[in-house]
Amino acid sequence: MTSPKNFLIITACALAYLLTFQLNTYLFSSFEYTQEVSWVFLPSGLRLILILLFFEWGAIGIGLASMAVCYFNQIESDMVTIIGAGFISGFAPWLARLVCIDRFKLDVNLNNLTPATLLKTSAVFALMSPVLHQLWFAWRNPATDFVQSTTIMAVGDLVGTLIVLYASKLVLSLFSPAISNKPS
């Protein structure tokens, strides 16, 4: 059973993911290869941040938001595919987090997160989701071009992740002087 705090985290993560998806559609719809695959995908960067910060609660929010996006934008037509795609949207970054903790000895509290580790972590996140999504879509619709769609989706996820990370760094650098100069 989730506490009110966890419910709030799930809801906030879902709303943030939905808004980022809409922003990505608005800004980068001309970069789409297909409706599910884009050369730039900002929500990938948000997935990284949400999973690193909120673990399974972020994954649940992402998964629910992804199901809503698929359903309301009619990206997929059947509920099994929609539910599977939503599950993968939350599960893949959660799994990537576990891989990074194990492989890169990433501290669960992110205490040892360096720029190099963050870049390697971004690459794992950008590969895990496209591979699992495209396996799912290929199983549901064998006519899909697995290799090309996976490659483009991975590039789009990595580009989107890097844009989000650098934009976050810029925003934090703009506000950090104001925060550090604030009287206690």
* pLDDT tens profile 125-171: 999 999 999 999 899 888 778 999 999 999 999 999 999 988 988 88
- Confirm whether 29 is domain-assigned: no
- How many Cα atoms occupy the beta-carbon half-sphere of 97 within 13 Å? 21
Q: 179 lies in a domain?
A: no
DSSP 31: G
Domain count, the chain: 1
Judge whether 183 lies within some domain. no
Q: How many other CB atoms are there within 10 angstroms of residue 87's CB atom?
A: 17
Query: What percentage of the chain exceeds 90 in pLDDT?
Result: 65
Q: Tell me the two tokens of residue 89.
A: 């949207």
Residue 49 is assigned to a structural domain of this protein? yes
Q: 52 is in which domain, residue-wise?
A: 4-24+37-174
Q: pLDDT value at position 180? A: 55
Residue 154 lies in a domain: yes
Residue 8 lies in a domain: yes
Q: Has residue 65 been placed in a domain? A: yes
The tokens of 64 are what? 């629910």
Does the residue 126 lie in any domain? yes
127 compared with 175, residue with greater pLDDT: 127
Q: What is the pLDDT of residue 108?
A: 82
